[in-house]
Amino acid sequence: MFENLTDKLQRVFKNLRGEGKLTAENMEQALREIRMALLEADVHFKVVKELIANIREKAMGEEVLTALSPSQQVVKIVRDELVKILGSHHSRLRFSNDPPTSILIVGLQGSGKTTTTGKLARWLSKNGHDPLMVSVDVYRPAARKQLAVLGRQLNLPVYEGKPEEEKDPVRLARSARVQAVQSGKDVVLVDTAGRLHIDDALMEELAQLKEALRPTEILFVADAMTGQDAVKSASQFHERLGITGIILTKMDGDARGGAALSIRQVTGQPLKFVGVGEKLDALEPFHPDRMASRILGMGDVLSLIEKVEEQIDQKQAEQMQRKILENEFTLEDFRDQLVQLRKLGPLESLLKMMPEIGPLKGMRNVEIDEKELTRVVAIIDSMTPQERRNHMIINGSRRRRIAKGSGTTVQEVNRLLKQYGQARKMMRSLTGGFMGKRMAKKMAKMKLPPALPRGFR
């Protein structure tokens, strides 16, 4: 996500870096370029206008901090303003004081409502809740089945409905609530039907559901790839129905980011989650500050940590951290790490969350070949235990033997050993960043600007 915008903004900052100090001229030039970059990213023109005005005011008005170079200063200003238009704070899901909490999922056809309902149910159950899902899409025969299948995949309950309710969205939703009360569920997720366009029949049906359920949240699901159309339909839904939050899906396929950057400002409603893939774990709570850092190519280490924590065995992670700190990170650990990393999903998406620092610089655009990973594991498996624990003893003849044993070449073995050396270095430099959740949280609270990537210094 945001690749195009990130590239362009980095270019602007790079040019500024060449300038001695911030002058009216070089700032105007930078502002023009930032404006173009935002417009090309399909950000709503009003949002661009406001953003540029705010950045200009700050950049021209603020006293030059002697500790910062002009480009750093502009990066910080741009980041602060991006955070502001993205909504300033993370907007949490709200829950009813009188459970079960009803959450209505609405949106246009194919925007990702049903998938997102499943993702939300998963997220809720991982975060201490007990959700019940129900589909009230009674028009498309396969629609309710689709949710039932997701429920089975997730091992989470879906209200199936009685035959006499099959044609009646409101009755289905009401019965689901009753079932939730009876079975002690605290959240009811209601997946609704979509239409190609906003029409009166759809709005009438949603209004009835709203009236019957009194939902705590009405979440509008929009496809980020549709850009300003997503913003427009969100505004229309909000006018007609009164939504309480937005979930942008398919952010993984959206290189521009226009919808994400405009929707909050235009609709006045917060983005609560973003969908970043088809799989059911591809849902992230939306944090304006982290997103702004990602847009500027500073990475999003906090989201990365959360993702890692969700997937990775905690004990093993602690052990690994200790080893890294004590510089005992062996080839065996390297292999285990690779295997663990694979569980997290495509490596490219992980690398995008990393800041471009030190040895990571430039890695962001590296394409990682899954087959290469398999080869790496095979190479390490062909080493003797001593070799894995002490890579220094792997001389030429050992390299040849390992290559033969793993069905690879000596060049590949050499490359792996080099990568391992780099990983050791990277780990050491990251332990400063991965200082553990508590420290990271503390830092987030202190609202310090994150360490600027080396490229900006």
Residues interacting with Mg ion, by CB under 5 A? 113-114
Choose between 283 and 413: whose C-beta lies nearer to ligand GTP.
Answer: 283
Residue 365 is given by DSSP the state G
C-alpha torsion sign, points 340, 429, 305, 244: negative
Q: What is the dihedral of CA 309, 311, 312, 313, to 10 degrees?
A: 100
Choose between 137 and 165: whose C-beta lies nearer to ligand GTP.
Answer: 137
Q: Which does 115 bind (CB under 5 to 8 A by kind): ligand GTP, Mg ion, none?
A: ligand GTP
* Contact by Cβ (8 Å): 330, 389: yes
Choose between 113 and 256: whose C-beta lies nearer to Mg ion.
Answer: 113
Choose between 120 and 379: whose C-beta lies nearer to Mg ion.
Answer: 120
d(CA 281, CA 167): 31
Q: Shortest distance, CB of residue 205 to ligand GTP, whole angstroms?
A: 13
Q: What is the dihedral of CA 179, 182, 185, 187, to 10 degrees?
A: 50
Mention every residue, 6+ apart, whose C-beta is less than 8 A from residue 235: 266, 267
Q: Shortest distance, CB of residue 260 to Mg ion, whole angstroms?
A: 22
Q: Shortest distance, CB of residue 231 to ligand GTP, whole angstroms?
A: 17
Q: Which does 250 bind (CB under 5 to 8 A by kind): Mg ion, ligand GTP, none?
A: ligand GTP
Q: Shortest distance, CB of residue 251 to ligand GTP, whole angstroms?
A: 6
Phi, psi of 431 (to 5 degrees): -60, -30
By beta carbon distance, the residue nearest Mg ion is 114
Q: Which does 455 bind (CB under 5 to 8 A by kind): Mg ion, ligand GTP, none?
A: none
DSSP-derived 3-state class of residue 154: helix
Choose between 280 and 324: whose C-beta lies nearer to ligand GTP.
Answer: 280
Mention every residue, 6+ apart, whose C-beta is less than 8 A from residue 454: 356, 357, 358, 361
Angle at 287 between CA 32 and CA 247, to 5 degrees: 95
Choose between 114 and 293: whose C-beta lies nearer to ligand GTP.
Answer: 114
Token code pair at residue 261:
């950057």
Q: Which does 165 bind (CB under 5 to 8 A by kind): Mg ion, ligand GTP, none?
A: none
Choose between 159 and 456: whose C-beta lies nearer to ligand GTP.
Answer: 159
Write down the H helix ranges in 41-112: 45-61, 70-86
Choose between 156 and 331: whose C-beta lies nearer to Mg ion.
Answer: 156
* Contact by Cβ (8 Å): 331, 321: no
Q: Shortest distance, CB of residue 228 to ligand GTP, whole angstroms?
A: 19
Q: Shortest distance, CB of residue 444 to ligand GTP, whole angstroms?
A: 25
Q: Which does 110 bind (CB under 5 to 8 A by kind): ligand GTP, Mg ion, none?
A: ligand GTP
Residue 251 is given by DSSP the state G
Categorise residue 373: left if φ over 0, alpha if ψ from -120 to 50, beta otherwise.
alpha
Would you call 451 exposed, middle or buried from its count of C-beta atoms within 10 A (0-12, 13-18, 19+)? Answer: middle
Choose between 279 and 322: whose C-beta lies nearer to Mg ion.
Answer: 279
Inter-CA distances, 155 with 103, 130, 271, Å: 20, 12, 27
Q: Which does 111 bind (CB under 5 to 8 A by kind): ligand GTP, Mg ion, none?
A: ligand GTP
Q: Which stretches of the chain bind ligand GTP, using CB under 6 A? A: 107, 109-115, 137, 143, 194, 249-250, 252-253, 275-278, 282
Q: Which does 27 bind (CB under 5 to 8 A by kind): ligand GTP, Mg ion, none?
A: none
Q: Shortest distance, CB of residue 79 to ligand GTP, whole angstroms?
A: 25
Residue type, 227: G
d(CA 16, CA 10): 10
Q: Which does 433 bind (CB under 5 to 8 A by kind): ligand GTP, Mg ion, none?
A: none
Q: Which does 297 bind (CB under 5 to 8 A by kind): Mg ion, ligand GTP, none?
A: none
Choose between 118 and 433: whose C-beta lies nearer to ligand GTP.
Answer: 118
Q: Shortest distance, CB of residue 224 to ligand GTP, whole angstroms?
A: 8
Q: Shortest distance, CB of residue 193 to ligand GTP, whole angstroms?
A: 6
Q: Shortest distance, CB of residue 108 to Mg ion, whole angstroms?
A: 11
Q: Which does 299 bind (CB under 5 to 8 A by kind): Mg ion, ligand GTP, none?
A: none
Mention every residue, 6+ apart, whose C-beta is less than 8 A from residue 277: 252, 345, 349
